[in-house]
Each structure stands twice: as structure tokens, then as C-alpha cells.
Copies of this chain bind each other. A is one copy, B any other.
Amino acid sequence: MKTRREFFKVAGTGLLAAGVSSAYGAPVFQQAQEEVKDLFGLGIAGYTFREFSVEQSIEMMKRVQVSNLSVKDFHMPYNSTPEQINSVISKFRAGGVNVYAVGVVYMKTEQEVDRAFEYAKLAGVKIIVGAPDYALIPYVEKKVKQYDIRLAIHNHGPDNPLFPNATDIWNNIWDKDKRMGICIDIGHTTRDGKNPVFDILRYGSRIFDVHIKDVDGATKEGKTVEIGRGIIDIPGVIGALRKIGFTGMCSLEFEKDMKDPLAGIAESIGYFKGAMKCK
């Protein structure tokens, strides 16, 4: 697969660009470094803010300087009117937050599929992070074509018989429309005994969205921890995303300290950004 990772020659620390001269010459400054400009963005998966209002969520996102959100239904109920949806989306936009996806949306009937796509269309997003019942996949494919909205199926590990891992998703969508793909949750992947690095590489052509997090064990008992404190190979995940030329969002789904998550969100985002500096 052709990588779309791009390299830019930039001055070491930006000091040279700032026009700062060094008293002792500048051998380090003048060493142009290869710096990676990643094509993927950082976001937050809305579930992170389960205990908080739209306004509080915006404040936390500002605090950690992350502007992309996959909005969850507790902030924008499925039975909202178009005006209500517009109001929520506008509120986020006014707060500097780009709602790029909705989800995770579970779909158990054709009516719920219809509703999900209409909801996504009204929200103005081009991607639904979702989990339709297996039997609904052919029906969902029709809607994907009709709306030109991509579906990224979310894997939920050993907790749920519905799409435990990316292999299961792939087996159900590989022969379907190319707008049907995967939102790989690297935590649940690990809790299901699978390696997210390997799955990202293997299913790269259909990875549309990523839920980033860390977990403290590779079994069902594994719990969410701050990114960097668990067992997931984060630089490996980032390297795999670069290899597949991922242009979507890596959205933090932080499921610890849910009533007071800001410190954990900040540490996780910080760690991921730090690891993105690895070549």
C-alpha cells in the first residue's frame, strides 16, 4: 500500500525560523530535521462526556486543544427535530468544536437505520460510527449508497457478541460498498486478545475512524487507563496509521473517572501527541 505520509524539511526547534542567533554558533539549529506532518487528526469520542453538558464538553475540549468530536446521542437525541439538531451542532461550532461524526449508533431495526442516516444527514456529518445488527448490513449498505454517508462499524471486544473485533467487521463488509468500514477501538481490540497494530495494517483500506485509549489488560477484565499507563503499543498504532495513510480522526474515548475526566483526558492526549513525535 502506498503511504501518504509526507515529509517536510523544517528547522530543528523553530528557533532558527524565529531569527534567534546563538552565542556559540548554531550547529544544532542548522540541522534540518525530517518532521512528520500527519494526515490524521485528533478528536474526542462523545461517550467520554457522558456526565457533562454540551457547554462543559466544549470547555474541556478547549482546555486540551482538541477540536474534533464524534457526538453521542445524550448530547443530541435521535428523536431530535431538525431545529434541535441544528441548535446542538451550532453550539459546538460556536465553541470551536467540529462535529465530524455521530456515534456510536446502535441499530436494531430498519427504522433505526433510517433514523440514523437521516440524523447524520441533518447533523451534516459524512460518517456514522455505528453498530447495526448483522442482519441489517444489506439494508445499511443501501442507505450508505443513498445518502453517501460512510458507516464505520465499531468493535466492542469481548463485552458484546456484536462485532467483537476488526476481523469480524471485515468479514461482514469486505464485499460491500467501499463506504462501509471500521471504527477500530484499540482498547476493545486489545481486550479481545487482538493486536490493534496488526489489525490497522491488515484492514487499512477500510479503517475510517479510530477510538484511541489504553487498557490495563488483554482480557475482558482489562480496564481503561490513561493512554501510556496501559499495555497498548501507542507508537506502534501511530506507525501503522501512517503506513496505511490514515486521513481520519483518532478520537479519545476515555472511560475512567467519568465524573472527573479532565486530567485523564489531558494526560492521554498529551501522551498520544508526544508519541506522534516518534519517527
A27 CB to nearest chain B CB (Å):
7
Stretch at the interface among A120-128, A147-155, A173-181, A268-276: A268-276
For A229, list chain B residues within 8 Å (CB). Answer: 65
Is A141 part of the contact surface with B, judged by Cβ < 8 Å?
A: no
A266 CB to nearest chain B CB (Å):
4
For A195, list chain B residues within 8 Å (CB). Answer: 12-13, 15, 22, 26, 28-29
Tell me the residues in window 222-249 of chain A with beta carbons closer than 8 Å to chain B beta carbons. 226-229, 231-236
CA distance A279 to B227 in the complex (A): 18
Is A217 part of the contact surface with B, judged by Cβ < 8 Å?
A: yes
Is A218 part of the contact surface with B, judged by Cβ < 8 Å?
A: yes
B64 adjacent to A277 (CB under 8 Å): no
A235 adjacent to B278 (CB under 8 Å): yes
A63 CB to nearest chain B CB (Å):
5
A1-31 vs B, CB cutoff 8 Å, 1 = contact: the mask equals 0000000000011110010111110111100
B263 adjacent to A63 (CB under 8 Å): yes
Residues of chain A at interface, number, CB under 8 A: 55
B15 adjacent to A193 (CB under 8 Å): yes
For A265, list chain B residues within 8 Å (CB). Answer: 263
CA distance A227 to B65 in the complex (A): 13
Q: Which of B18, B190, B276, B279 contacts A218 (CB 8 A)?
A: B18
For A268, list chain B residues within 8 Å (CB). Answer: 270
Q: Which of B219, B232, B266 contacts A267 (CB 8 A)?
A: B266
On whether A22 and B262 interact (CB within 8 A), knowing A14-B231, A271-B273, the answer reads no
Show the binding face of A for B, using Cβ within 8 Å: 12-15, 18, 20-24, 26-29, 63-65, 167, 190, 193-195, 197-198, 217-219, 226-229, 231-236, 262-279
| Besides A13-B232, A15-B195, 6 other A-B contacts (C-beta < 8 A) | A23-B167, A23-B194, A228-B274, A266-B270, A270-B271, A279-B279
